[in-house]
Amino acid sequence: EQGYEYRRFEKNVTPIKKLPDALIIGVKKCGTRALLEFLRLHPDVRAAGSEVHFFDKYYHMGFEWYREKMPPTLEGQITMEKTPSYWVTKSAPKRVYAMNPAVKLIAVVRDPVTRAISDYTQSASKRPGLPPFEEFALLNSSIQWGGTYSVDASWPPVRLGIYARPYRRWLRRFPKSRLLLVNGERLVADPAAEMVRVQDFLGLKRIITDKHFYFNSTKGFPCLLKSETKPIPHCLGKTKGRNHPRINQSVIDRLKEFYKPHNQKFYQLSGVNFSWP
């Protein structure tokens, strides 16, 4: 009897590394870092800090390697990881299913036009002198933008905004109820409200509330009053919430038009009307 009690006690206090119970699978530049940092405010969530890239790059390393990358957890805590490239990795749904068919999946999505500009802005920050967005977004755009020029759907910043295709691929393995779509615009406009949905989905107590956030008008984004690692108000790093370059309006309009049928398809599949402009 005593031995049993002791073991039970020990089980509760010895943290162990587990494979993830939930994954943030995408989408790149939609607010995946913000979501993960917000989730880490929850005492029952433990998450790997950096992107592990197991299901796309390191699958050959095996599940034991993956488990080792996870933070130690106590009983009752959930283990998480975020790697946005899983969203578009063709083999990822099957591999994730092989790890745990009951895993919970989260994808953040936002207006694909803004997402494309965000994606480009990230590349441009690493490569000074990169030609303007407009030159990549439209085919044969060197003379004049807009008008009849067609969108270059093969350019990754544009392609990644077509959400319906990868979404359908995930739904072939997982029921819709197991893949939560987080509204990237709402995550900025009302993070506490969006976090209620996320906590409910993960079966967590509603601990993350509006008391955790304040709007930093200099940054233009919600920031945290405190977190486990920092007891003072702080925002996400400089690489999150960058200033975007001004993009030619006719190119924006052309992109909106391009995405319209893809967005409709995505709304139809998901049953959610995101009302992207």
Quote the least distance from Cβ 233 to ligand A3P, whole Å.
Answer: 12
Establish if 46 lies at the interface with ligand A3P (CB under 6 A). Answer: no
Which structure tokens are listed for 195?
A: 């976090």
Given candidates 73, 83, 121, 141, which one binds ligand A3P under the rule CB under 6 A? 121
For ligand A3P, which is the closer residue by CB, 221 or 274?
A: 221
Given candidates 242, 256, 262, 265, which one binds ligand A3P under the rule CB under 6 A? 242
Establish if 236 lies at the interface with ligand A3P (CB under 6 A). Answer: yes
Contacts 24+ apart (CB under 8 A), 197-206: 198/35, 198/38, 198/39, 198/106, 199/42, 201/104, 201/106, 202/22, 202/39, 202/45, 202/78, 202/104, 204/42, 204/44, 204/45, 204/78, 205/44
Establish if 106 lies at the interface with ligand A3P (CB under 6 A). Answer: no
Report the C-alpha gap between 63 and 55 in whole angstroms: 10
First to last CA, the chain: 64
- Sign of the torsion formed by the C-alpha atoms of 109, 104, 32 and 221: positive
In the beta sheet, which residues pair with residue 221?
A: 216
Q: Which stretch binds ligand A3P (CB under 6 A): 85-93, 196-204, 238-246, 265-273?
A: 238-246
Quote the least distance from Cβ 190 to ligand A3P, whole Å.
Answer: 11
Establish if 118 lies at the interface with ligand A3P (CB under 6 A). Answer: yes
Q: Which stretch binds ligand A3P (CB under 6 A): 23-31, 68-76, 139-147, 249-257?
A: 23-31
Contacts of residue 76, defined as CB under 8 A and 6 or more positions apart, other chains included, come to 44
| Total number of residues that touch ligand A3P (CB under 6 A) | 19
For ligand A3P, which is the closer residue by CB, 105 or 149?
A: 105
Binding site for ligand A3P (CB under 6 A): 28-34, 84, 118, 121, 187-188, 221-222, 235-236, 240-242
